[in-house]
Structure 1
Amino acid sequence: MNTQHKKTPGKAAFAGWIGSAMEYYDFFIYGTAAALVFGKIFFPGSDPAMGVLLALGTFGVGYLARPIGALFLGHLGDKYGRKRVLVLTLLLMGVSTVLVGCLPTYESIGIAAPIMLVILRLCQGFSASGEQSGANSMTLEHAPDHQRAYFTSFTISGTQAGLILATLVFLPIASLPEADLLSWGWRIPFWLSLIVLVVGYLIRRNIEETPVFQEAKESKQTAKIPLVALLRDYKADVARVAMAAMVSTVSTLFGIFALSYAVNIVGVERTTMLWLTIITNIVALFAIPLWARLADQIGRRPVYLFGVLASGALMTPFLWSLGQNNLPLSFVLGVLMSGVCFSAANGIWPAFFGEMFSTKVRLSGMAIGTQVGFALSGLAPIVAAAFMKGSTPWLAAACLALVGCAIAAVATWTARETYKIKMDDLGRHPGANDHGPQPNSLNIQLKTAD
């Protein structure tokens, strides 16, 4: 390691945490508004169920932009540096979110209103595609070899903090009289994003580039076209990440579908469901680093696999309890499913996925793989809403969670174990021919694989 490029894991973890919290505050307030408000102000001509469906559709649109953004931002981060991606994504997300709060409603300008809403949501999705992969790459490459899962987990804790902040901001807004909520109240959380934008920018502009990337750049070892190297040597890993990332179906169904279903169909109070979200994510704040520490001790695969299987299995009883309007049971199952079990997968994917790739293509590999998986998962709420029929309107959502988690479990089972491999040897396996001779790293991987 070049002595002029020192690792600063604490500083990188804090920057990743605060930046992710700021950026995902923006992303999550859109989801909450889509579930509670947008159907009434941007699609008022539809019946209530169709209005909810269309509003959730605009939420899903943001996920469609993610794979496209991942191609561009992954290339930018692997060729020019992680820091540029982190600043760009923050600015794009912040400006898009503030502008959502300034939009006129359907009543004011007609069809142009939902069209502009969709465009801004696409910008949010484009930004989010590079945010976590950039922050995760930055933190992973600064972390000590034996604590990579722990330090990278702080970027995910940041997203949980952003969700908590977004929900807390919406609590007093959701308790407003409906006329006030629909006229001006819903705009306030989006306007507050301006503060988020300024604070996040001041923090991220002072981040140091990672030592391993700086050394690769100085020795001219960065890929000329990262996407070409990625598709040449890591196709299987990109596909594996995309499939494993489909565990996020649990997150989108819990955070968006369950909220909309409980409030609009079952008749649960808006503030009650928002409190469930807050409590769940407070639990996750503590659970995520604990699961990450365990993954540093016993490996990525067993912890991730537990999170996938347990959270997928708990979705059915959770949705059933909501349908029965059994709120105490819903709170227990919701916290257990999303706060505890899902955190086992959610907290360690930055290390688990990032360690599949070399420095040359790490940001591209994580961004493209995760965003394809997240895009598919992001469509789950609208698909589930479209099939809300019969005496068990939640059944489609439960089935989608099971299918998504089954796919993720298969992908996890086929992955290599990487928790004992040194940073310089990550991503080196048969087929990755852009690294030159690598007998020692190959031996290490064969020993740690099943």
Structure 2
Amino acid sequence: MTTPTSTPRRAAAAAFIGTTIEFYDFYIYAFAAALVLGQLFFPSDNAMLSTMAAFATFAVGFIARPFAGMVFGHLGDRLGRKKMLLFTMVLMGVATTCIGLLPTYAQAGIWGPIGLVALRFLQGISVGGEWGGAVLMASEHAPKGRKVFFASFAQLGSPAGLLLALIAFRAISEMEPEALMSWGWRVPFLLSGVLMLVGLVIRFGVPESPEFTKVKEQKQTSKSPVKDVLRHNWRQILFAAAAVTIGSGGFFFTNTFMITYVTQYQGISKSTILDCLFLVTILQFLSQPCSALLAERFGEGRFLKWVAALCMLVPYPMFLLVQTGNLVYMTAGIALAVLLLAALYSAIAGYMAEAFAAQVRYSGISIAYQLGSGLTGGLTPLIGTYLAGQFAGQWLPLALFFSVLALMSLVGVVGLSRLRAEERRNPSLSNPEVVTP
């Protein structure tokens, strides 16, 4: 089956714009958790406890993601990638907009935090179903030999969404504290409704994935894709989940926890760290496509192993530079870490996708990615806040924690590379039993 020349580019653009909107919604919650949600929904005399409570609700979204990955993976392998992407975008837009309308603890008592947790859970469900479909729409439309590069456009939505979220919160951070805490924090959430409509229009114009269409026409769709992939590809799932650890946990370390760390423990202003992260995210956005091209040129497995190994070393110079409190040095330190994280993040999606057969691919990559990111991405800011409180004034425990995350990714990439080598020697190892409907 052939596709028009423009279709791969349209699919990549749609994946990019869609994930940008999804990650904007996800990141504005992360920033709000670091800056205002603790005071608004979990008031306490202890600022650390309020912040940890807010980060705990942040983690709730990640808890939802593995379950969502299984549900939407099943539906995406049975019904198609496009339908799931349209549904997840509506779900995210509605949940995020409702957070902007939610009464606080002072206004509604315990019902405010309960509503916040429920809506955060819906955000997690949306992202849990979104990521796998966006990656596959881009990679399965891609020309032969270019899957890693085209899949990287779905990953590019993360820094783009982060840039939008940083712009939104940088703007409201200039407000008077009373205005910010009363209504200003709601504005970034309410903008989500407008972005959702833009994303839906764009995604409607992209046809279904040609690989899924071929599987469906040949009546080779799996009746139970989640069951099949867990039975036949459980090793790929475990190694892939480990491989994404630093790509997910590392970003929330630098982009979420670092806000709390420098403002509460280093005495640096919110506007300074937000400006720093804005500059770093621009560099990340520009570097990710280049990293994906390098991965294709030098071999994805080899590239990912080197990057994961370097990620183990990078937190030490990063913290030494952050400790200076100088915007230029802080930016350089965080940028050094983020550029390495971005290199792994850009290439890992297409590399993971190739480890699973088309019949179970949505299920396989969704379960793996959401399992890895659900455990590490959600817990990283919480663990970081705890370590910072227990070892006040000491950055070494935090750097060691970052290195452990990178080591897990290295182990995952090595394991996934070996499994893919085995499958090349014996292709039947990657093909589950297909039950036709």
TM-score, length of structure 1 as denominator length: 0.91
Q: Provide the rounded CA distance (Å) in 2 between the counterparts of 1:223 and 1:153.
A: 27
Aligned to 2:56: 57
SS at match of 2:145: helix
Q: Provide the rounded CA distance (Å) in 2 between the counterparts of 1:387 and 1:65.
A: 25
Between the aligned residues of both structures, percent identity stands at: 34
CA apart distance, 1:196:
0.6
**Amino acid in structure 1 at the alignment position of 2:232:** D
Aligned to 1:273: 273
CA apart distance, 1:101:
0.4
Which segment is superposed worse, 305-314 or 23-32?
A: 305-314
CA apart distance, 1:417:
7.3
Aligned to 1:9: 8
Is 2:258 the counterpart of 1:258? yes
Show structure 2 runs of 5+ residues with no match: none
Q: Provide the rounded CA distance (Å) in 1 between the counterparts of 2:420 and 2:343.
A: 15
Q: Provide the rounded CA distance (Å) in 1 between the counterparts of 2:210 and 2:391.
A: 57
After superposition, residues 167-178 of structure 1 pair within 5 angstroms as 167-178=166-177
Is the 8 Å Cα contact of residues 355 and 426 (structure 1) preserved in structure 2?
A: no
1:32-85 CA-partner distances (Å, limit 9, x unpaired): 110011111111134111111111111111111101111101101011000011
SS at match of 1:145: coil
Which segment is superposed worse, 271-280 or 161-170?
A: 271-280
After superposition, residues 274-423 of structure 1 pair within 5 angstroms as 274-338=274-338, 340-377=339-376, 378-388=378-388, 389-416=390-417
Kindly tell me: are residues 142 and 419 of structure 1, through their superposed partners in 2, closer, same or farther at Cα, counting changes over 3 Å?
farther
CA apart distance, 1:327:
3.6
CA apart distance, 1:28:
0.6
Aligned to 1:446: none
CA apart distance, 1:317:
3.0
Aligned to 2:130: 131
CA RMSD of aligned residues (A): 2.3
Aligned to 1:27: 26
Q: Provide the rounded CA distance (Å) in 1 between the counterparts of 2:220 and 2:373.
A: 30
Q: Provide the rounded CA distance (Å) in 1 between the counterparts of 2:299 and 2:23.
A: 28
Is the 8 Å Cα contact of residues 27 and 124 (structure 1) preserved in structure 2?
A: yes
CA apart distance, 1:114:
1.0
Is the 8 Å Cα contact of residues 306 and 341 (structure 1) preserved in structure 2?
A: no
Aligned to 2:141: 142
Kindly tell me: are residues 162 and 313 of structure 1, through their superposed partners in 2, closer, same or farther at Cα, counting changes over 3 Å?
same
Q: Provide the rounded CA distance (Å) in 2 between the counterparts of 1:275 and 1:54.
A: 26
Which segment is superposed worse, 227-236 or 92-101?
A: 227-236
Aligned to 1:67: 66
Aligned to 1:448: none
Aligned to 2:249: 249
Q: Provide the rounded CA distance (Å) in 1 between the counterparts of 2:285 and 2:299.
A: 21
Q: Provide the rounded CA distance (Å) in 2 between the counterparts of 1:209 and 1:431.
A: 24
SS at match of 2:391: coil
Kindly tell me: are residues 390 and 297 of structure 1, through their superposed partners in 2, closer, same or farther at Cα, counting changes over 3 Å?
closer
**Amino acid in structure 2 at the alignment position of 1:262:** V
Q: Provide the rounded CA distance (Å) in 2 between the counterparts of 1:202 and 1:428.
A: 39
Is the 8 Å Cα contact of residues 356 and 430 (structure 2) preserved in structure 1?
A: no
After superposition, residues 188-227 of structure 1 pair within 5 angstroms as 188-227=187-226
Is the 8 Å Cα contact of residues 5 and 214 (structure 1) preserved in structure 2?
A: no
Kindly tell me: are residues 428 and 121 of structure 1, through their superposed partners in 2, closer, same or farther at Cα, counting changes over 3 Å?
farther
1:231-253 CA-partner distances (Å, limit 9, x unpaired): 12101000111111111221111
SS at match of 1:357: coil
**Amino acid in structure 1 at the alignment position of 2:277:** T
Kindly tell me: are residues 69 and 435 of structure 1, through their superposed partners in 2, closer, same or farther at Cα, counting changes over 3 Å?
closer
Q: Provide the rounded CA distance (Å) in 1 between the counterparts of 2:61 and 2:409.
A: 22
Kindly tell me: are residues 108 and 150 of structure 1, through their superposed partners in 2, closer, same or farther at Cα, counting changes over 3 Å?
same
CA apart distance, 1:429:
4.6
Q: Provide the rounded CA distance (Å) in 2 between the counterparts of 1:267 and 1:3.
A: 58
* Number of corresponding residues: 432
Is the 8 Å Cα contact of residues 309 and 406 (structure 2) preserved in structure 1?
A: yes
Q: Provide the rounded CA distance (Å) in 1 between the counterparts of 2:275 and 2:426.
A: 42
SS at match of 1:266: coil
Kindly tell me: are residues 429 and 412 of structure 1, through their superposed partners in 2, closer, same or farther at Cα, counting changes over 3 Å?
farther
1:84-132 CA-partner distances (Å, limit 9, x unpaired): 1111110111000000000111111111111111111110011101211
Kindly tell me: are residues 19 and 127 of structure 1, through their superposed partners in 2, closer, same or farther at Cα, counting changes over 3 Å?
same
Q: Provide the rounded CA distance (Å) in 1 between the counterparts of 2:11 and 2:70.
A: 24
TM-score, length of structure 2 as denominator length: 0.94
SS at match of 1:195: helix
Which segment is superposed worse, 27-36 or 266-275?
A: 266-275
